[in-house]
Structure 1
Amino acid sequence: MSSVVNHITVDCVGDPYDLAQFWSAVTGNPLADDDFPGDPEASVIPPSGARMLFVRVPDHKTMKNRVHLDLKPTDRTRDEEVTRLLALGATLVADHRRPDGTGWATLADPEGNEFCVERSDAERTPAP
């Protein structure tokens, strides 16, 4: 017997719809059809796998996330993706990118939830 991950739930003190819109832009996946501003929860629906569920909570985030997402760009470089996400409203928390092109960047979404941006597959493949 086993289980599947149904939702990845993210607590937020602001409007869950607003945070879901940020993550919808990050992932390119739509919000659920029944989500609206002011709702107590909102979901980002991927083509397969677990939904990202954003739920309003009364308490503010006070420490580092114990679980976070690691993003891998599919159609751009890591650095281009970091630039795109910063323009969407993310903030740079820590820069672990190295001069040789390895490493990652740690960002935070508008609610302060940390996530990392890794290199794309193309950046991991050795040049011929």
Structure 2
Amino acid sequence: MALHWKLVVDSTDPHAQADFWAAALDYHVEDPGALVSELLHLGRLPEADAVTHLGTQRFAALAAVRHPDDPFDSHSGAGLGRRILFQRVPEHKQGKNRLHIDVHNGGGDPDTLAARLEAFGATRVEFIDEGPIGRWWIMQDPEGNEFCAIG
């Protein structure tokens, strides 16, 4: 039986990271507002562990994005398919990623994709041209995590 999974990314600002990646991938930022409000009301979540983001209560240390076509739990907002969870950690990124995301635009121009991602806060690092193998930009998200923009 295949397992369910999600990609978890350490982050100093999980909500900003979720906003960036939702825009970059055309995903939805998960909205756990109903669950967070319930936990606050029941006293099971301290006020200090909640923030208001995009107009609803959210977990302060967690934010996630999900694919718009995948099912999700309407109470918790958690996606039940493809998703990325950003968890707050105290330290900033150090060193090269050991895992990264490749963003594809369906065979288009990598420069066009890179420009789109820059509009959301990404930074170009290096252009790679491997001829018939492919062409892509190595980029960084707003917290410096490397990813590839592939045409």
Q: TM-score range by the shorter chain?
A: 0.7 to 0.9
Question: Displacement, 1:78?
Answer: 2.1
Q: What 5-or-longer segments of structure 1 have no aligned partner? A: 120-128
1:36-88 Cα offsets, whole Å, 9 max, x none, are 43721101011233211011001111100000001111485322111111121
More strand by share: 2
| Candidates 98, 119, 130, aligned match of 1:66 | 98
Q: What 5-or-longer segments of structure 2 have no aligned partner? A: 34-51, 54-58, 71-80
Give the % identical residues. Answer: 37
| Candidates 20, 32, 41, aligned match of 2:62 | 41
**Normalising to structure 2: TM-score of the pair?**
0.68
After TM superposition, what 4+ stretches of structure 1 lie above 6 angstroms from structure 2?
none
Question: Which residue matches 1:104?
Answer: 136
**Normalising to structure 1: TM-score of the pair?**
0.79
Question: Which residue matches 2:19?
Answer: 21
| Candidates 28, 31, 40, aligned match of 1:30 | 28
Larger radius of gyration: 2
- CA–CA distance in 2 between the matches of 1:100 and 1:45? 33
Change (3 A) 1:105 1:2: same
- Is residue 115 of structure 2 the alignment partner of residue 116 of structure 1? no
Q: Counterpart of 2:31 in structure 1: which amino acid?
A: D
